[in-house]
A and B are shown apart, each in its own frame.
Chain A
Amino acid sequence: MDNLVPGIDADCGGECSCATCHVMVNADWTGIVGEPNEAEDSMLDLNPERATNSRLSCQMTVSDNLDGLIVDLPEFQF
């Protein structure tokens, strides 16, 4: 978000309230990244392009074990 990755808009600035930082987590990483939290789940749910591996990137806590994480961006942000 702070690094201005094109395609990750994060209009709300990381508050889990706009769903414009949608990413799809690579299958090798879904177990490490974990499931969406409750608030995140309700925001993701509004997006018709939601997939089983969808997360809002603002709700993922960056740590050393995510080094090398691979995510796909949706074709369009919500």
Chain B
Amino acid sequence: MSEAPTLNMADFDPQDLALEDIDVSQRSIWIHDKKMSFFERLRNEAPVHYCKDSEYGPYWSVTRYKDIMEIDCNWQDFSSEPAITIVEPEEDFPLPMFIAMDPPVHDEQRKTVQGSVAPANLKLMEETIRSRTQQVLDDLPIREQFDWVDRVSIELTTQMLATLFDFPFEDRRKLTRWSDVATGDEESGIVESEEARQAKLYECLEYFTRLWHEREEQGERNDLVSMLAQGEATKNMTPQEYLGNLILLIVGGNDTTRNSMTGGVWALNQNPGEYAKLRNNPGVIPNMVSEIIRWQTPLAHMRRIANKDYVLDGQTIKAGDKVIMWYLSGNRDERSIDRPNEFIIDRDKARQHLSFGFGVHRCMGNRLAEMQLRILWEEVQKRFHMIEVIGEPKLVPSNFVHGYTEMQVVLHSH
């Protein structure tokens, strides 16, 4: 970082800053929810934008839908190694995981676990997911304020994860904690220090190593731990690589769907006309699910490193440069999406959004996520006239996980 005092982005209107001074990674604009106006300026005036200095060092921001797609699909020129978020990995604590590897190793490891959330397997899970969703919703109080994030979003996604790992059900909130710790840091208030973070992740590794040993000899089972312990491409992983891939699967299945479960309620509250549409036509739910996932964009970015000099929109990205694809911005790009700032549950081509990424790293749990959200809304609509949000939800202070730590609601029955 430079010696010069850093401008606090949140104190400015983005139009009042020189383009070269804009740093969209800066936490202040995420905490104060001002990032969208900064992204709009970059999309219009500097769609491939270089920030020469930030908390994370220099980086390029790519903010338009089509440009993001071009990079996401080009793994040959843009590497996912050694990490896929803007934060540099800790040198003494590397966490190798297949999302942060390039082909061919990526493909081999991914194929080992892909089957667990592939569509054929989902059909077998649908009834379990539905009955659990019913149970969670039936236990909620009516006309009494509670936190939707904790009681519904976290509970449902954590139960799902426990099932995928065949993880001891009574310990399932450990998964939630490990997920939060994995993407958190001191400044986010989630952990006290980097040491505390690593200690917590070792606890995760220790717990899962026990499960690994139990299952490596148990014959074929279709939980993720057994798949990793028995898969040709993964059975000889180092403990650190096992931990890395666990974190990937835990965060991938947890922080994402959780925040879409909350974000959908928030979006409908801000758009009463859309809520009315939903009440009149529950058949719109599958389309609405895609729109919620676009509108929320639960992971705001992914990062790549250029393998060679590459020209995009007239800018030359140099070999070795860090490139951030801001999915959250691409999903608001008026060049590719009609009225992108509006939440429209019966939108045309709602499936065409960036939230799952594109190319070989595309989200492998996309169909599971859509199914969980579809079932949630089908069951919600059977039970409640409205989920009323009280006040404003609290945001996760992160430029990666775009979500909520708390959202108070009151339920109204039909």
Contacts of A47 in B (CB 8 A): 114, 118
A6-38 residues at the B interface, CB under 8 angstroms: 9, 11-13, 15-20
Q: Are B122 and A76 in contact (CB under 8 A)?
A: yes
Determine the interface band of chain A, counting residues with CB < 8 A from chain B.
20 to 34
**Alpha-carbon gap, A45 to B107, bound state (A):** 8
In the complex, how many angstroms separate the beta carbon of A76 from the nearest chain B beta carbon? 3
Interface set, chain B 344-379, CB cutoff 8 A to A: 349, 351-353, 356, 358-360, 362, 364, 367
Asked if A59 lies at the interface with its beta carbon under 8 angstroms from chain B, I say no
Contact A75 B362 (CB under 8 A): no
Contact B69 A48 (CB under 8 A): no
The answer to whether the Cβ of B72 comes within 8 Å of any Cβ in the partner chain is yes
Known A9-B351, A42-B360; contact A17-B73, beta-carbon cutoff 8 A: yes
Taking a contact as CB atoms under 8 Å apart, the answer to whether A17 and B119 are in contact is no
Given A11-B352, A17-B362, A75-B119; A42-B73 close (CB under 8 Å): no
Complex interface residues of chain B between 34 and 72 (CB less than 8 A to chain A): 69, 72
CA distance A42 to B353 in the complex (A): 21
Query: B320 to nearest A CB, angstroms?
Result: 25
State whether B118 touches A48 (Cβ < 8 A): yes
Q: Is the CB of A17 within 8 A of B364?
A: no
Roughly how many angstroms separate A16 CA and B116 CA in the complex, as a whole number?
A: 23
The verdict on A43 contacting chain B, using a C-beta distance below 8 Å, is: yes
* B120/A75 in contact, CB under 8 A: yes
CA distance A18 to B107 in the complex (A): 15
> Which parts of A36-78 form the interface with B (CB within 8 Å)?
39, 42-43, 45-49, 74-78
Q: Are A76 and B123 in contact (CB under 8 A)?
A: yes
- Selected from B352, B359, B360, the residue in CB contact (under 8 A) with A13 is B352
- Residue pair A46, B358 in contact (C-beta under 8 Å): no
Pair B358/A15 contact, Cβ less than 8 Å:
yes
Residue of A9, A45, A46, A74 most packed against chain B (CB within 10 A): A46
Let me know if B283 is at the binding interface, CB within 8 A.
no
Alpha-carbon distance between A18 and B69 when the two chains are bound, in angstroms: 11
Q: Are B107 and A42 in contact (CB under 8 A)?
A: yes
- Interface, chain A (partner B; CB < 8 A): 9, 11-13, 15-20, 39, 42-43, 45-49, 74-78
Q: Which 5 residue pairs across A and B have the least CB separation, nearest first? A: A76-B119, A17-B358, A17-B73, A11-B351, A48-B115
15 A-B residue pairs with CB within 8 Å: A11-B356, A12-B358, A18-B358, A39-B73, A42-B360, A43-B360, A45-B111, A46-B360, A48-B115, A48-B118, A49-B120, A75-B120, A76-B119, A76-B120, A78-B118
Residues in B lying within 8 Å of A, measured CB to CB? 69, 72-73, 103, 107, 110-111, 114-115, 118-120, 122-123, 349, 351-353, 356, 358-360, 362, 364, 367
